[in-house]
A and B are shown apart, each in its own frame.
Chain A
Amino acid sequence: MQISFTLNGRPTTMDVEPATLVAELLREQLSLTGTHIGCDTSQCGACVVHLDGLPVKSCTLLAPALDGATLLTIEGLQGAPGSNLMHPMQEAFREHHGLQCGFCTPGMLMTAVALAVEKPNLTEADVRHGLEGNICRCTGYQNIVISVMAGAAAMNAAKGE
């Protein structure tokens, strides 16, 4: 079937097998390999993308669900539109050593950005609870939590400008 959607800001039309998972569509057909697959039970969160602005696990989403929707993946996450700058959340993860092997990182970032958008003044408890669906084996989460809080603060500051 043919679907049309906005992918990282660009209108996209393509033919898909209806049983294709979005995570596989991105990785295999669109060569957007930043979205990772870390499990087969929708537990790890390495595949989180934004569908119409909300975080979803792309490993449990079928391609037809994209029709007419807006999809943002890690490759489309950026600072000011059109700039080469990283998003404040990406900068915060670098600044606070919020990643080690990098495999869970794209999903963590997409979840983190959504958390910060959803609630402007995140507490540590909010962040820890909000990351329940994202597993990291390297960092012990401490620097991820610190990064998310710093990134959220930077997003708020940028909004105020």
Chain B
Amino acid sequence: MGNVIGIGAAPKRKEDQRFLTGRGNYVSDIKRPGMAAGVFVRSPHGHAVLRGIDKSAALAAPGVIAVLTGEDVKADGLGSLPCGWGISDAKGVPMKEPPFPMLAQGKVRFVGDMVAFVVAETPEQANVGAELLKIDYEVLPSVVGLLEAVRPNAPQLFDDVPNNICCDWELGDKAAVETAFKKAAHVAKLSLVNNRLIGNPMEPRAAIAEYEPGTDRFTLWTTSQFPHVVRFLMGALVLNIPQHKLRVVAPDVGGGFGVKQFHYGEEAVITWAAKRVRRPVKWVASRSEGYVSDRHGRDHVTEAELALDETGKFLAFRVNTLANMGGYLSTFGPNIPTNLYGPLLGGVYTTPAIYCNVKVVFTNTVPVDAYRGAGRPEATFVLERIVDVAASEMGIDRVEIRRRNMIPKEAYPYQTPVLVQYDSGDPMGCLDGALVAADVKNFGIRKAASASKGKFRGLGYSTYVEACGLAPSRFAGRLGARGGLYESATVRVHPTGQVTVMIGTHNHGQGHETTFAQIVSEKLGVAFENVDIVFGDTDRVQFGMGTYGSRSLVVGGAALSKATDKVIAKGKKIASHLLEAAEVDIQFEAGKFSVAGTDRSKTFEEIAGAAYVPHNYPLEVLEPGLEEQAYYDPVNFTYPGGCHIAEVEVDPETGTVTLVNYTAVDDVGTVINPMIVEGQLHGGIVQGVGQALFENAVYDEGSGQLLSGSLMDYCMPRADHLPMMKVATHSTLCTHTPMGVKGCGEVGTIGSPAAVINAVVDALSHLGVTHVDMPATPNRIWRLLQNASLPVAAE
């Protein structure tokens, strides 16, 4: 009999054994009998009229089984890929929502847009077939940049979307902000770009679909963060497959970061194709294919203004943003730069008036959607950057100006002027903790040491908050969500007392098999090793919205907690019968049901046994069995946050920025497994560092070609780019989640870009540099230094 391992412990992960020994089960590892191979043919043009496709040569090639195009999609009456959010402008006019066909019809709108699907006996034969397709394109000028796309004479992606603007969205009290600006002693202004990113989970996307004529059932194996949502969107809205005839399985998935939380056209095409060819069909993306088809992230152009009084108190904040949607609306696309952006512009400060306008814009680029942090890193970057600009212009210390404006711990719950109400937090506590952990008081010594080597050293702060645990369905519904955002869990107690949990979240690196088992182990008093977590299969798991928005523990864990409470409640009824005591007198503690004030008790295993062998059992009032299910819909978002401090060294000879120290003190609420939380913080921080220093998706204006289309052109963070980071938690408990948890999956990525860039600007501030756009590459920094035309390194 093993041990209970509960909340706050750090057991090694249950999932590690299979990954360490090469026995994971990723989609690309799966083979089905009689399986054929599929290859997608993608547009090589950013923008073109699709005049026609001649399939004949491809169909005649050896091994080719089928060639499917947009015309076939149309002939079969299939639906458009749905958008899960419908936002509106200030007057309530809904966003423009042009159809997103799974294979292009009439026009292609980005390099990578899918034009045809070739199925053959082998991947090689499918590739040969793809080469033989004759596709007649009439190439049109592309527009990829935001400023270019909204110009009057810009190429238009859709006939009925004037100026390429999908929606002109706003939030906040515009008049109150204008009034406050008139009274301001100082106005800080900042123009910035939030660079376009490509998520790059290490496992490329892949799918296998199979149709069983005997039962009229489909199975889709897909690299997804939310199989139930894929089943709903694809089955109900695209392919017209009844939900009970469609199984979606997302087995081991090699990282997601948002990239795998959308319903992709590839999934629909391959499922449809499997029935047409009556063979299982497999497709595995190459990395390069992923670059032009995985949804991209970020891509904003922003003008921000912060109004302050003479003491440095923030009076009002005004933000105007252009946000890139790419060529079509992806599953969550329009929600990200609006609802997940505007409401975070209050940050951890008491700014009384905020106004935000976001123009959501179509361009000839890969559709843009959620990428780790999704909207909140963009908001944090604008706010934390302009706070530094204001501090510098007003001659106030950067820490001091933050303190003067921070929401004090006692002021929680705190209603912001931009919809959200923070339930709990202690930003000052996080700041104080981080100042000590980062040894800020000795920074001057380190700066002098760098200077003696001819290097510029800088320190950057980011004190931030985010909103996650997506999401309260009612609230999301008011903002335009077309679905619910609850989570569900089933706790199945076996006759021998072991437990299987079926949960609707999806584990693709976050350690759910361990964390959720700890919750069950603690609550039911069963051994940690006797709890298994099942996820990622619509035939095995009742329902679920999946994993994104730091929601798994916050919403899924809450559902699990509720379901275990129901198991305990039923167990008490059984125990009351077996122990011949009133139900109110039954206590449950440490895996034992006992009668208060007596030594009479039954173990959890005995109660489970009685539930399945109900010889002596209150059958007239209670059903046999011990299995309970709960759905949980949160009442509010959760608001993790904290303080990040980055320290960089800039080599003026080469422009190279080296991250030399990084400290994060984060408030993530209750920590279930500190080892896993630290791992999430490390990974999140480095993704933010990647945005700040290395990563950039670059398109060629005019042709619409993606210039950073491989791992050789798009710089991913490597081990030797990074120092050892110091991460710690300073937690206040969430007041509305059952265990006080807040979520930790995205905080690192949200807090870090601003900290790093603030450090780079600090390092260069003596040269008059006031802002550096991301990524702060050697090329960009070196050019800045040349333009600064000031004496460079002291020899």
Contact = CB atoms under 8 A, between A and B. Distances in A.
Given A38-B287, A86-B20, A94-B20, A101 B254 contact: yes
A135 B718 contact: yes
A141 B717 CA distance: 9
Contacts of B256: 101
A57 interface: no
Contacts of A152: none
13 contacts: A33-B26, A46-B202, A77-B21, A100-B510, A101-B509, A102-B15, A102-B18, A104-B202, A104-B254, A127-B719, A136-B202, A137-B683, A140-B717
Interface of B: 12-13, 15-24, 26, 28-29, 31, 199-204, 252-257, 286-288, 508-511, 675-676, 678-679, 682-687, 710-712, 716-720, 722, 724-725, 748
A142 interface: yes
Interface in A63-103: 73-75, 77, 86, 90, 93-95, 97, 99-103
A82 B683 CA distance: 36
Contacts of A77: 21-22
Contacts of B511: 100
For chain A, what secondary structure do more than half of its interface residues adopt (helix, strand, loop), or is it mixed?
Answer: loop
Which of B13, B18, B20, B684 has most chain A Cβ within 10 Å? B20
A36 interface: yes
Given A38-B203, A103-B26, A105-B20, A128 B711 contact: no
A15 interface: no
Interface string A112-151: 0000000000001101110110111111111111000000
A161 interface: no
The range of chain A's interface size is 35 or more
A154 B421 CA distance: 51
A132 B23 CA distance: 25
A60 to B, nearest CB: 13
B682 A103 contact: no
Given A100-B511, A141-B686, A131 B719 contact: yes
Nearest to B727: A142
Given A44-B202, A104-B202, A140-B725, A99 B710 contact: no
A51 interface: no
Given A43-B712, A99-B16, A103-B26, A90 B21 contact: yes
Nearest to B725: A142
Contact of A101 (B199, B255, B687, B710): B255
A129 B24 contact: no
Nearest to B18: A102
Given A97-B12, A103-B26, A103-B201, 18 more contacts: A32-B22, A33-B22, A33-B28, A36-B203, A39-B204, A99-B16, A132-B720, A135-B716, A135-B718, A137-B199, A137-B202, A137-B716, A139-B682, A140-B684, A140-B686, A140-B725, A142-B682, A143-B678
Given A43-B712, A140-B683, A106 B718 contact: no
Contact of A94 (B12, B31, B679, B716): B12
The list of the 6 closest CB pairs from A to B, nearest first, reads A34-B22, A102-B19, A103-B254, A101-B509, A140-B686, A74-B22
B22 A144 contact: no
B19 A99 contact: yes
B26 A41 contact: no
Which of B510, B682, B748 has most chain A Cβ within 10 Å? B682
B722 A142 contact: yes
A32 B31 CA distance: 12
B509 A100 contact: yes
A128 B722 contact: yes
Contact of B254 (A102, A132, A142): A102
Contact of A43 (B18, B203, B711, B722): B711
Contacts of B286: 39-40
Which of A31, A34, A73, A97 has most chain B Cβ within 10 Å? A97
B437 to A, nearest CB: 15
A68 to B, nearest CB: 24
Given A33-B29, A37-B28, A102-B15, A140 B682 contact: yes
A44 B722 contact: no
Contacts of A129: 719-720
A34 B21 contact: yes
Given A41-B712, A104-B202, A137 B687 contact: yes
A75 B679 CA distance: 26
Interface string A23-39: 00001000111111111
Nearest to B714: A43
Nearest to B256: A101
A22 interface: no
Contacts of B201: 101, 103, 137
B711 A100 contact: no
B686 A95 contact: no
A126 to B, nearest CB: 10
